Amino acid sequence: MLNNITNDTRAVFTQLIEEAKLREGSIVVLGCSTSEVGGSRIGTHSSMEIAAAIYDGFFDLLKEKGIYLAAQCCEHLNRALVIERELATKLNIPVVNAVPQPKAGGSSATTAYARMDDPVLVERIKADAGVDIGGTLIGMHLKETAVPLRLPQKKIGEAFVASARTRAKFIGGARAVYDPELL
């Protein structure tokens, strides 16, 4: 089962990077319920093993491409995000003081905190794209004008996957001409 979770996660993130046209420096927010992946209701069976299998599927891929991860904590930490200190400094985002745990932050955020080079928590971010595994509600952490992505890989384990990218706002009206590279 864990190998399938890793492979399905790799497929989701590979598809996301391609469909969202993510580049070096892009930010991807991840919301993940390991309970849902394992077939239970969100928040009831947090699993570090499932979280490890998920991160095995995408973590090195994002690093290799220079894409930043923002791992959303659960509501016990007010959906704060685990990011690299480098990104917080670059974007001048205030750091908050908490260390995620499996039952206070979630197994996914706890795994992100353990795997990042210099992790910190922040309250908000405006990501370029996102993956929501198991209905964790990541929309508050996406840039304006989110566009749903219909990726071929629709589930990881037992959890449904929703993905989105963002695009520049359209302005101008009927006579405006838009750059197709920004769509």
Q: Which residues of the chain have pLDDT under 70?
A: none
Cα–Cα distance measured from residue 69 to residue 81, given in angstroms and rounded to the nearest whole number: 9
Say if residues 128 and 168 touch (Cβ distance below 8 Å): no
pTM of the model: 0.93
Q: Is the Cβ–Cβ distance between 68 and 53 less than 8 Å? A: no
pLDDT of residue 172: 81
Cβ partners under 8 Å of residue 115, min gap 6: 55, 59
Helix ranges (H only) for 20-119 are: 34-37, 48-65, 85-91, 107-115
The alpha carbons of the chain give a radius of gyration, in whole angstroms, of 16
Domain ranges across the chain: 2-168
CATH code at 2-168: 3.40.50.10360
Looking at residue 23, its pLDDT comes to: 97
d(C-alpha 78, C-alpha 97), whole Å? 12
